Amino acid sequence: MPQIICENASLGYENRPIVKNLSFSVSAGDYLCIVGENGSGKSTLMKTILNLTPPLAGSIRMEGLSSTEIGYLPQQTQVQRDFPASVQEIVLSGFQGRCGLRPFYTKAEKELARQNMERIGIASFARRCYRDLSGGQQQRVLLARALCATRKCLLLDEPVSGLDPKATVQMYDIISQLHREGITIIMISHDMNAALDQATHILHIGEKLFFGTREEYLHSGIGRSFLTEKEDKSC
């Protein structure tokens, strides 16, 4: 069953389109990787899904899902990495979209935050200061926070950016486990090996657009050309 349906959307800012005529759908339980060159509109698409930026044309709509039921893990800035709050406080802040005017977290929310910290493997440093953690630990904290916002769908913008190889593997393992538990994953990634290893579907954004299964992408002209280009740049 589709959760997100994009039809002939044009995305951009101040009436300047970055992406035109984009169509795709995401069903419950999918693992969609969004790939493409820098500046092709991948992060703009995520912001549009989250209703932070309206489409310039066309539509992106939800079915049985609202933007407040989507957990979002954005790329971090240096200021965010230095945020002086405890891990527990950061994770609990994932509930703010549900709190409305309520100035406190409920007992049930605190218990779910604890469970999500256990789930992601960060319960042992719940009271530590966030800015004292390693990059990999901070990303896991933000993932636990995103899980407090949703049990349905996670949007991840380069979740392993800046992580060392060990932390990268750990993060991908956690994301894969969440997918196996039934959470829909939508992830922007420059790591094509991970995208092709993990994803059920690929959305390629650029001068040419592609949406389909991982296998279809591997056999498409767009997929073969992009993968060859990536390999040449890495040599």
pLDDT digits (tens, 9 = 90+) for 14-50: 889 999 999 999 999 999 999 998 888 999 999 999 8
Residue 74 DSSP class: P
What is the chain's mean pLDDT, rounded? 89
Could you tell me what percent of the chain has a pLDDT over 70? 94
Report the pLDDT value the prediction gives residue 74, as an integer from 0 to 100.
Answer: 87
Cβ count near 158 (within 10 Å)? 18
Please return the burial class of 184, using the count of CB atoms within 10 Å of its CB with bins 0-12, 13-18 and 19+. Answer: buried
The distance of Cα 130 from the centroid of its chain, to the nearest Å, equals 20
130-134 mean pLDDT: 93
pLDDT of residue 23: 97
Look at residue 38 in the predicted model and tell me its pLDDT. Answer: 86
Lowest mean pLDDT of 6-20, 76-90, 197-211, name the range: 76-90
SS3 content of the chain, % helix, strand, coil (to 5): 45, 25, 30
In the predicted model, is pLDDT for residue 98 greater than 90? no
Can you give the pLDDT at residue 8? 96
pLDDT digits (tens, 9 = 90+) for 141-193: 999 999 998 889 999 999 988 888 998 999 999 999 999 999 999 999 888 88
Predicted TM-score (pTM) of the model is 0.89
Q: What is the DSSP letter of 33?
A: E
Q: Tell me phi and psi for residue 12, to 5 degrees.
A: 170, -160
Q: What is the mean pLDDT of residues 6-12?
A: 95
- What would the pLDDT profile of 49-68 be if each residue is shown by its tens digit? 988 899 999 999 999 887 77
